[in-house]
Amino acid sequence: MTQPIFSPPKAPALVLRPYQQEAVDAVYRHLRERDDNPCIVIPTAGGKTPIAATICKDAVGAWKGRVLILAHVKELLEQAAEKLDRIAPDLRVGIHSAGLRRRDTEHPVIIAGIQSVYRRACDLGPFDLVLVDEAHMIAPEGDGMYRQFLADMKVINPRMRVIGLTATPFRMKSGMICAPENFLNSICYEVGVRELIRDGYLCRLITKSGCQKPDTSELRLRAGEFVASETEALMDQDALVESACAEIAEYTRDRNSCLVFVSGVKHGQHVTDVLHRRTGVEVGEVYGNTLAFERTRMLDDFRSGKLKYLVNVNVLTTGFDAPNIDCVAMLRPTMSPGLFCQCCGRGFRLHPGKENCLILDFGGNVLRHGPVDQVMAKTSRGGNGPTPVKECPECHSVIAAGYANCPDCGHEFPPPEKKKHEAEATTAGVLSGEVTMTEYPVEAVLYGVHAKRGAPADHPRTLRVDYQVGLNDFISEWVCPEHTGFARWKFEKWWRARSDVPPPVRVEEAAALAQEGALAPATAITVRHVAGEKHDQVAGYVLGGKPRMAGWDEAPIQKPAGNSLGVADEEIPF
């Protein structure tokens, strides 16, 4: 058999969480209805492995197919094998991994390390499905291990389908991992951190920033990330290490397990020594060159609670499962939103007696990347946008910028300053959905006609209104003279608040009248921002007096001035 028939099995043997079952159903629906390859997006600790195990069981048991699971670290391979053994103990599962000392090739389900198989596609034979865990590891182009292996597998079975699983469906430089030309083409199911915290499947997070801040402005970038040697030299300064370790010791006095991410081996050894001196307890270290038996001992002791602190460099970012972690200390800045999410995700898992997980951020990452549940690649967010959080100067909690008082210590924030030529950035919460209202003084208002790109010639156009709130800062809204129903009613209300001239029915006339001075000037606007949503809304106005327009009914219809602000059509909210 080269291609299974994808129809839901009659009696699933495993009761998944509701969102996990929805993800499985979405995969089957995608495979039945489309010819390309789907991707599932579920947060770290949200349970991707049970989903993969269920798909394997169904594919082999119900459809008589053959499945390959690929991952890049042996911990993920071990997790997949353990889950499959529990879910389908009668299923023959092989492992092909040098690190696990297995070279199985004949089983209906093979769990393989990409480093061990990327040149051995022919040894494994054809598969109907290939599941890629941590699918963001597939390179967007070139001859990486995943791309080489998957291309070879496609030659063996051209009808093979690929299913991706990831918590972070984006890369630092190239944006989203799904595209028509990629191995993964479309996200078939996605659930967010906020939803899983709300529903009790993930642990709540609390974030605090370090008292001493590293100055990352001089760090250079290489391939989109801070240069490693420069980052380590910056973070390994005695004052920063001493201050960070003192705060870690204080904040974790009543916590059980603290995972520490550092910027390099030398930095890690420095942090380990100082943290041991500050706390008087053993501090574990795991680096890339740590011997296997020593690494296993450290991880076992940390999971069991025997070891309270564990320092690592780029080792425990993916595949490490320790539900007892109730503090994550980030002693490294990163430009990678994916790495930031993966590190924070180590504390997402639920555990008896664990009320929340404390994120101690000494690298400015929360302020740099924004809400954990809304982090996106910079290419997807349109560059560096406004920071969606703020830090309390008293207790250093990183909180939603809309708070007038710090919820942790009660500190009262001063009202935002309103300076000419300086628009205060709209900010929002660490988790999305929190609302901020910000008032801006308006220096000028521009009007233009907007036609939606790709719309039919008879599609109603809109009047674009650009409020200048700084030297080069504009906030835009669109009103709809040519629409009908509620949109037209809103336009008429908007127009009558500004002018005694009857509301026009053509957008060219509206723009011409506005440019001729028919509308009351706006001296200030109030902007409503919801954290995680793409577009802000102008929610209030301070207007000057309505102008008197002699002979308004003879007002000329002028060619609209248009818009020279360079905002792309796809940024328009309708």
pLDDT digits (tens, 9 = 90+) for 339-379: 888 899 899 999 999 999 999 999 988 888 876 655 554 44
Report d(CA 57, CA 67) in Å as an integer.
9
State what percent of residues in the chain have pLDDT above 90. Answer: 41
pLDDT digits (tens, 9 = 90+) for 417-445: 544 333 333 344 455 566 778 888 988 88
pLDDT digits (tens, 9 = 90+) for 118-141: 888 888 999 999 999 988 888 777
Report d(CA 451, CA 441) in Å as an integer.
28
Sign of CA dihedral 117, 123, 124, 125: positive
Q: Tell me if residue 176 falls in helix, strand or coil.
A: strand
Task: Report the 3 state secondary structure along 250-307.
Answer: HHCCCCCCEEEECCCHHHHHHHHHHHHHHHCCCEEEECCCCCHHHHHHHHHHHHHCCC
Strand order in the sheet with 444-450: 444-450, 462-468, 474-479
Sign of CA dihedral 360, 366, 372, 375: negative
**CA 516 to each of CA 8, 447, 478, 506: distance values in angstroms, whole numbers, following the listed order:** 64, 11, 19, 16
Q: Residues 216, 333: contact at Cβ < 8 Å?
A: yes
Q: How many of the other CB atoms lie within 10 Å of CB of 562?
A: 13
Domains along the sequence of the chain with CATH: 18-196 (3.40.50.300), 203-385 (3.40.50.300), 438-571 (no CATH)
**CA 98 to each of CA 111, 126, 147, 298: distance values in angstroms, whole numbers, following the listed order:** 12, 21, 20, 22
pLDDT digits (tens, 9 = 90+) for 527-538: 888 776 777 889
Report d(CA 103, CA 153) in Å as an integer.
18
Sign of CA dihedral 306, 308, 309, 315: positive
pLDDT digits (tens, 9 = 90+) for 25-84: 999 999 999 999 999 999 988 989 899 989 999 999 888 899 999 988 887 888 888 888
Q: Residues 500, 546: contact at Cβ < 8 Å?
A: yes
**Cα–chain center distance at 276:** 34
Q: Which is higher by pLDDT, 272 or 142?
A: 272
Report d(CA 142, CA 341) in Å as an integer.
26
Which pLDDT score is estimated for 361?
93
Q: Tell me if residue 101 falls in helix, strand or coil.
A: coil
Report d(CA 209, CA 213) in Å as an integer.
9
